[in-house]
Amino acid sequence: MSQTTTPDAAPNDDTDRATLRRSMLGLGLGNTLEWYDWQVFGLLAASVGPHFFRTENPLDATLSALSVFAVGFVARPLGGILFGAVADKVGRKNVMVWSVGLMAVTTLIIGILPGADTIGIAAPVILLVCRLLQGLSTGIEAPLSTAYGVEVMPKGKSGTAAGVISFFVNLGILLASLVNFLLGTTLGSAAMADWGWRIPFLLGAAMGVVVFWLRRALPETLHQSDPEYVGTTSTVWREVFARWRSLLAVVFVIGAAQAFNYGWNVGLPNLARTGFGEDATSVFGITTVLSLIIMVGSLVVGPLADRFRLGRVFLVGRVLMIPAVFLMVLYTAKGLGVFATVLLVGAPVLVVNMTLHVLVSTSLFPKGIRSSGCGLGYGVAVAAFGGTASYLIVWLASRGLSHLFPVYVAVLAALSIGFYLWARKSEGVFVGE
């Protein structure tokens, strides 16, 4: 039986515009910081590895650094569970402040950490601990910041909030690539490999100080006096698992979008460079255009969801994902024209899904358990489907089975549609309808 409820009334609809802009800036820049720091480590793995892992083979050192990078994905579900429950118990603000603080401190440590030649085995151990802590932080940032954005924005503007957050997420990813490009051009490859790789981490830590200050001024959106407030952690989780259909829907709504995203943003470019020998500079140029399309497009898709209803716009985008993902079967041999066409024709569908997937997940949980439910579902989905997508696409291509990846993503998309419709009919929606 359907029990669709009215959206949360914004607790501060009458907040002046300056305060609202400041809140969204602190919220958005926190996402920029999280994703900048996350991306920087992946981009600099080849430079970071030789400093922290004693090996004569540079490839082995890079692989060791990438394995540490992957550990962060494993920690994400735990971050969603731990911090999501805290945010539903003590409020959103403190968790978001300390999430950013944790990311900034660990980024600073990585930037100044002596190498294995200086402190021995302690170097890779400390690096591993920092990446685990960063995984915990990133595991709650996306679901919690979206939940907070929905709650702080005026009623009927949840899509706009999601669009702003998505813009800042992609800004962080773009900045990571841009900073590394500029430093590499200025310092040269040798200096970047020797000491220049530390500069992007130090810049991230400096950004963290600014964001930490901005977030300390955020208004709280969850109070114990709220009718939606649940209370104890055990009660929060009992109510989350009572809504198991919604939890299942979140896993597949997030999972399908992340598999599509990592396939498009990481898998296809890696296939182009390593599988078909495309010019790396050209590939990076095309992927930069894709990032710009996603950034600008998110500011368009968000308001559209407010105007035409969140669920409707999401379902259109999710249905279009199924044929769009099959575009990649056209890219079967070297050819930058085909690569660019596939990547950019699929971009509008990617924009819709990446702008709305966390917001749609947020809509399936009432305010009092929103952070816990979305945090858990998001972490599981990213670890299970997002973190494996880029590896899967390259591995299948190496075995002549490239056509199976779009089938895999299409099945995830179809399942996400079914589970979403089932959850909203049986357990209701609470945002954007």
Q: What pLDDT band is residue 180 in, cutting at 50, 70 and 90? A: confident
Q: Specify the pLDDT at position 11.
A: 44
CA dist 313 → 121, 360, 376 (Å): 51, 10, 24
- Range of weakest confidence among 64-68, 76-80, 119-123, 236-240: 64-68
How do residues 273-287 score in pLDDT, each as one tens digit? Answer: 777 888 877 887 888
Q: Which domains does the chain have, with CATH numbers?
A: 16-222 (1.20.1250.20), 239-433 (1.20.1250.20)
Q: What pLDDT band is residue 327 in, cutting at 50, 70 and 90? A: very high
Q: Specify the pLDDT at position 61.
A: 66
- Range of weakest confidence among 117-131, 276-290, 293-307, 319-333: 276-290
Question: Is 186 exposed, middle or buried, given 0-12, 13-18 or 19+ CB atoms closer than 10 A?
Answer: exposed
**Nearest to residue 255, comparing CAs of 417, 25, 135, 431?**
417
Q: Is the model's pLDDT at 5 over the cut of 50?
A: no
Q: Specify the pLDDT at position 56.
A: 65
Q: Specify the pLDDT at position 186.
A: 87
CA atoms within 13 A on the CB side of 377: 36
The structure tokens 């979140």 sit at: 250
Determine the Cα–Cα distance for residues 170 and 163; give it in Å rounded to an integer.
11
Q: Specify the pLDDT at position 62.
A: 66
Q: Specify the pLDDT at position 66.
A: 67
Q: Are 386 and 258 in contact (CB under 8 A)?
A: yes
Mean residue pLDDT across the chain = 86
DSSP 64-102: HHHHHHHHHHHHHHHHHHHHHHHHHHH-HHHHHHHHHHH
The distance of Cα 53 from the centroid of its chain, to the nearest Å, equals 28
How do residues 102-122 score in pLDDT, each as one tens digit? Answer: 999 999 999 999 988 889 889
Determine the Cα–Cα distance for residues 65 and 70; give it in Å rounded to an integer.
9
How do residues 9-56 score in pLDDT, each as one tens digit? Answer: 444 444 477 778 888 998 899 899 888 987 788 777 777 888 888 766
Q: Is the model's pLDDT at 8 over the cut of 60?
A: no
Q: Is the model's pLDDT at 2 over the cut of 70?
A: no
Write out the two tokens for 223. 């109070």
